[in-house]
Structure formats: structure tokens, C-alpha cells
Amino acid sequence: MPGDDSPTFGPRWEPPAPTQEEVDSWAEREHLRRQAWRKGPTELETLAWARRHDARPDSQEGSSPATPAEIEAWAERERSRRAAWLDGPTAEETQRWASSRAARRGSEAGPTPEEIERWVERERERRRRWLAGPTEEEKLEWFRRQTEGLRLPGGSRLAALLRELALDGGDALEELSRPLRALFADLARRGRRRDEEPPAARRSRVPY
């Protein structure tokens, strides 16, 4: 109403920021998820791989589904792949980095052996921190994303979620559930804030 100084809420309203308890809870869940990732594929990941295996374009109708031996062989390869990733960049990864570095410099001469070694060590350390994390920087980034809420200005929030899903080696179902969990967390925070307000302030809100 004109002249009413009480807070109103509309499409541009920013959702309440997560509490420190919520940040710590997310960090603990994420830490446990990374530790589980190191140990190898979960049951859901294994099931997803078997379904993809059975739906291959080269599969013929009536062909047998993946056998337990094939599933276990894939799981072992995946465990080895994750262990190798944590050990540091492979020769192939290092070569790709050196090539991209030379391309950015606009020169055919690649980085020096010393530069390559420094990059390898930085990348190895980055992977160690990821496994031990989340870091304080990652917590701040999660806090920022939650504060942005579920609005999609220019699709940037949706793009960020899709990038997380594409880059994360964890369980796909876990990733797909993140937006829903974010919605419930946001609604819970709004409810707590509303319950803490005096009744007069709640009655003065203008619906949109």
C-alpha cells in the first residue's frame, strides 16, 4: 500500500542466506561424498553403467545384458581411473596442457620442462585439496550459489547446475537432486524467518 514502509516481497526478493550450520552441514556431506568417490563406484553408479551398456547403439535386439563379470571389470577400471586421477596428471593430460599452453602463447615452442613440472605439482596438489575438502573457497562459492536462490537470470544458474553435473564424477542421481534440495532448503529458511517476525509484519505482506 502507498506509504507503507513494511517489507514487501516480489520476484526480485533475495532469499535468506544459508546459516553457518547449513554451510557446515553441506561441507560435511560433500567431504563424505568425495571420500566415497575415491573408494569406487556406488551401487547406483554401477546400475547406471549397466543400463548404458545394455542401451549401446551397437547392441542388437535380444542381446544379453551386461554380465556380473563385465560389471565388476568396469567397476575395477573405474576404481583404477579414480586412483590414477588422485595420483596426479597422466602423461596424456600433461601433453594436452603443454599443447594448450603453446597455443595460448601463439608459439610452436611448448612450455619448458620446469614449467611442466610446476604445473604437474600444482595440479597434483589441487586434487589432494579437492579430496580433503571442501576448501574455504568452495564453501564461499556454495554460499554464493545458495544466496542467489532459484532465479535464473539469463539462464546462468541453470548453466552452472549443468556444468556441475557434467564435470562431477559422482553419482548422477545425487547431482540431479541438488536443485530440489536447494528449493526445500530455501523454503525452510523462508519459513523460519517468517516465524520469527511479529504477526503485524506477516499480515502486511503484499502477495505477488
pLDDT tens for the chain, 208 residues: list them: 444 444 444 445 455 678 899 999 999 999 999 999 999 999 999 999 999 988 877 655 556 788 999 999 999 999 999 999 999 999 999 999 999 888 887 777 778 999 999 999 999 999 999 999 999 999 999 998 887 755 544 445 554 555 455 445 445 545 556 566 666 666 766 666 666 655 554 444 444 4
* Same domain (yes/no): 28, 108: yes
In a domain, 180, yes or no: yes
pLDDT the model gives residue 86: 94
pLDDT the model gives residue 139: 95
Of 139, 166, 181, which marks where a domain is finished?
Answer: 139
Query: Domains in the chain: how many in total?
Result: 2
In a domain, 56, yes or no: no
Q: What pTM value is reported for the model?
A: 0.60
The Cα angle at residue 20 between residues 130 and 201, in degrees rounded to 5: 145
* Same domain (yes/no): 130, 71: yes
Q: CA of 169: how far to CAs of 79, 135, 185, in Å?
A: 12, 18, 24
Provide the domain limits for residue 120: 16-42+66-139
- Nearest CA among 1, 51, 46, 9 for reference residue 197: 9
What residue has cell string 535380444?
Answer: 62
